[in-house]
């Protein structure tokens, strides 16, 4: 009886796998494409002396919130006006909001490079202590 249940479960799993094969294959293809793009980027980064700056900026961008877009009525005319919100501050144009966001991203990246020598020194000291 136990073999019957396990065979039924196996057949049910295969039926479900067949039923959902297209979404599964799409996800696998997307994963493969992202992986191949990452490999190509790694190869190009090996030739680029400034690649670490790009990676630092990308990491800092991930840590900073995105710009919000809100449509509110104008206080004087009542017509809809698009405002851009970044870190609680309202901007009239997207360019102003992007400039403020970029400034915060660059500041975060600079902080990383200011802390880097200390982190590397601590790391070296840890290796020396382990070897002794």
pLDDT score of 101 = 95
pLDDT score of 108 = 92
pLDDT score of 34 = 95
Q: Please spell the DSSP secondary structure of 71-130, one letter per residue.
A: EEE-TTT--EEEEEEETTEEESSHHHHHHHHHHHHHHHHHHHHHHHHHHHHHHHHHHHHH
Backbone angles phi, psi at 69, to 5 degrees: -120, 125
Question: For residue range 22-74, what is the model confidence (pLDDT) as tens digits?
Answer: 999 999 999 999 999 999 988 888 888 888 888 889 889 999 999 999 998 88
- Tokens at 60, concatenated: 């800092």
CA 95 to chain centre: 22
């Amino acid at each position: 009886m136990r073999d019957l249940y396990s065979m039924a479960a196996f057949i049910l799993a295969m039926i479900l796998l067949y039923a959902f094969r297209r979404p599964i294959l799409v996800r696998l293809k997307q994963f493969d494409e992202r992986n191949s793009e990452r490999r190509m980027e790694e190869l190009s980064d090996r030739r680029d002396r400034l690649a670490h700056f790009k990676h630092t900026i990308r990491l800092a961008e991930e840590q900073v919130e995105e710009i919000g877009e809100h449509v509110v009525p104008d206080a004087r005319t009542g017509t809809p006006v698009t405002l851009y919100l970044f870190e609680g501050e309202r901007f009239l144009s997207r360019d102003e909001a992007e400039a403020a966001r970029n400034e915060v991203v660059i500041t975060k990246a600079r902080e990383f490079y200011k802390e880097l020598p200390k982190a590397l020194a601590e790391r070296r000291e840890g290796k020396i202590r382990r070897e002794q």
